[in-house]
Structure formats: structure tokens, C-alpha cells
Amino acid sequence: MKYKTLLFDLDGTILDYSRSESAALFGAYDKIFGATPPDGFLSVYQNINSSLWKEFEKDNISINSLKKKRFSDLLKEFSLNCDPLKFSKVYLEELAAGGYLVDGSLDVLKLLHPNYRMGAVTNGIGVIQRSRIEKAGIGGYFETLIISDEIGIAKPDPDFFRITMEKMGIENRSEMLMIGDSLSSDILGGLNAGIDTCWINRNKIEQNEIIPSYTISDITELLKIIGEAG
């Protein structure tokens, strides 16, 4: 078979980050303010958070600064009087409990696990990601878990993948496939590292700047890609 090692992104690929994010944000707001958030609270947060994570991928902001700034900006936008570090702490506690899975992802892991080496690679906060993996019950499918917070390097930096390969004892990049939903971290990262990539393009976005080896719209389609690759 062409591929022997499969690297999976977590959020948006295996773990349902949108569901975890929404539940955590609403849960934190309720615990701090004893109410439901105002209209637009989630969408404004998502815009702020997404923008900051892109800066993190470019190494323009530290993870600690990101954790504070996303909530200082959010609370300011809604004129809410709360310490952003306090809100961040409660939010992360709520987020750590969110071990929700993307539909079909568990079945894919179960089917592929007997025949492939599999690693999980994620830009995230170590204790949070490890907690969510445990809650989701998927830790046993991955022989390696690489988290940007723990190694000090984030996707798409090729060193992220170099460290992953070193930890897994892999030398032949041509036998690896990176699977993820983010063009800017997963797919660009794989390309930077000389690794084949499979982009999960659920929203069927049209773009021609970053070209993956394969494009699918649902993680279950990965099984066909793997089969055709032989």
C-alpha cells in the first residue's frame, strides 16, 4: 500500500470543535454572568478567535497572549465588565469537557487502525486537547499525539512535522498522508514538509492557492482515497 502512516488533525477533522466551542462559551457565560450571552456573542468570538489563531500559525502571537486577547477583545465588544483571564479560565475548563466527535470519524478510525500507523497532530493547548481526547475515547487509536503547545512549534511550520516524524521513527515521507480541514495549517503544513495531504473541504470552498493531493467533503470518503492509493 502507498501510505503506511496517517496523520490526523483533531479539531474539525476528528473532534467537533464547533460544538465544543459553542457549549464552552455559553457555559462560561452562564457561570460568570448567570445568563445567556447576547445575540451575536458566539459569531463575534469565532471571528476574533479565528483571526488570532491565524496569527498564531504565523508565529505572530504567543498562546498565552492569544488566550487572553480573544476574551479581552470579546468582552470589550459587548461592553462587559469581567477579567478576561477569569473568563478564559472558565471557558477552558468548559472546553476541556467537550469530547464531541465529528460524525463518522470514529468509524473511520476503527476501520483504519488495524492496518496503519496513526498519529494525531494539533495546534492547541496541551491539557485541553488531552482532556478532550480522553472524553471522546479515541486516545488508543493514535500511537503519537503532537500538540503545538507542548513542542513550541505550530503547523504549518515544517519543523512541526519533522518532530512528528522523529517521534514516530519515520524517514520516508512518501509513505505518509496528512488529513485535515484547515488549508492554512494542515494542508500547507503537509506541503511545506513534503508530505501528501488530504483536505476535508466540507463547505466545498473553491480555491487554487494551496493544492492538496486529495480533496474530500466528508471524512468517511477518506476510506475510498486510501483504498485507491493502494
As annotated, the active-site residues are 9
Helix axes 222-229, 105-112, angle to 10 degrees: 30
Strand order in the sheet with 214-216: 144-147, 117-122, 5-8, 176-180, 196-200, 214-216
**Count of C-beta atoms within a 10 Å radius of residue 29:** 23
| Residue 71: all three cell numbers together | 476574551
Q: If you write DSSP's letter for every residue of 33-72 in order, what string do you get?
A: HSSPPPTTHHHHHHHHHHHHHHHHHTTSS-HHHHHHHHHH
Distance CA 99, CA 87 (A): 20
Distance CA 35, CA 19 (A): 19
- Phi/psi at 170 (5° precision): -110, 135
The greatest distance separating any two alpha carbons of the chain, rounded to the nearest whole angstrom, comes to 58
